[in-house]
Amino acid sequence: MGGTTKSPRYEQGMATRRKVLGNAWVDAAEAKKTAFDEPFQELITEAAWGHVWSRDTWTRRERSMVTLALLAGLGHYEEFKLHLRATANTGATPDDIREVLLHVAIYAGVPAANHAIKIAKEVLAEMEKEESA
């Protein structure tokens, strides 16, 4: 797979992806990549991480908060968990996450926020436990 040279946007996206999600997560995701999903992985690395997350108009904390709101509001809870864990690298705090989910409740619906709050409590507790270990 992927013996070709990657674009500068891909390389920039991969660097940002690693800063946000962490090397361990990206390495694991890359190890699972197959010929079937490689084009998709390249697309999200260039588009999401290279074009959007790499822009300097917002901080990573701000992008993290907006991403959490969108994922929770749309009910994409697996991705929501991933981006909750990424807050360790983006600077978004539990207080920020709570405020995000209050906005989700008002603008995207209480059921979406309620489920996201349940997930956030679990993930934040896991992260705290891991940090203190």
Distances (CA, A) of 79 to 29, 60, 100: 13, 17, 15
Radius of gyration of the chain (CA): 16
| Amino acid identity for residue 35 in this structure | A
Question: Do 37 and 100 have their domain in common?
Answer: no
Question: Do 27 and 64 have their domain in common?
Answer: no
Question: Do 78 and 114 have their domain in common?
Answer: yes
pLDDT digits (tens, 9 = 90+) for 67-114: 999 999 999 999 999 999 999 999 999 999 999 999 999 999 999 999
Question: Do 74 and 53 have their domain in common?
Answer: no
Residue 113's domain spans which residues? 59-133
Measured at the alpha carbon of residue 44, what is the angle toward residues 43 and 46, in degrees to the nearest 5?
A: 70
pLDDT at 5: 84
DSSP, res 56: S
Does the pLDDT of residue 1 top 70, yes or no?
Answer: no
pLDDT digits (tens, 9 = 90+) for 36-48: 999 999 999 999 9
Q: Let me know: does 37 contact 29? Beta carbons within 8 Å.
A: no
